[in-house]
């Protein structure tokens, strides 16, 4: 289960990176990789809850590997 809390404040930055990658000619897989960059930085800089962000990154990694997961948004 992913708790969105602080991630919702940082989410738009990752989405922008993802969409900028498409504008630069990246396919979906590469755009997803670009989206991961800001999240990893947010974890290192302690701008988001590390456990929550790492769960999100795991979902993204599983998506790359073709695994389907259910993500549950929790209001907190």
- How confident is the model at residue 2, as a pLDDT? 45
Other CB atoms within 10 Å distance of the CB of residue 73 = 10
Domains of the chain, residue spans: 2-74
Q: What is the pTM of this model?
A: 0.61
57-69 residue pLDDT tens: 888 888 777 755 4
17-46 residue pLDDT tens: 889 999 999 998 888 888 888 888 888 888
Other CB atoms within 10 Å distance of the CB of residue 39 = 22
2-25 residue pLDDT tens: 455 666 667 777 788 889 999 999
């Amino acid at each position: 289960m992913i708790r969105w809390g602080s991630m919702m404040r940082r989410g738009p930055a990752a989405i922008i990176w993802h969409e900028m990658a498409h504008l630069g000619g990246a396919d979906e897989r590469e755009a997803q990789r670009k989206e991961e960059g800001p999240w990893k930085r947010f974890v290192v800089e302690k701008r988001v809850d590390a456990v929550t962000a790492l769960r999100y990154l795991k979902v993204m990694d599983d998506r790359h590997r073709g695994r389907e997961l259910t993500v549950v948004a929790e209001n907190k």
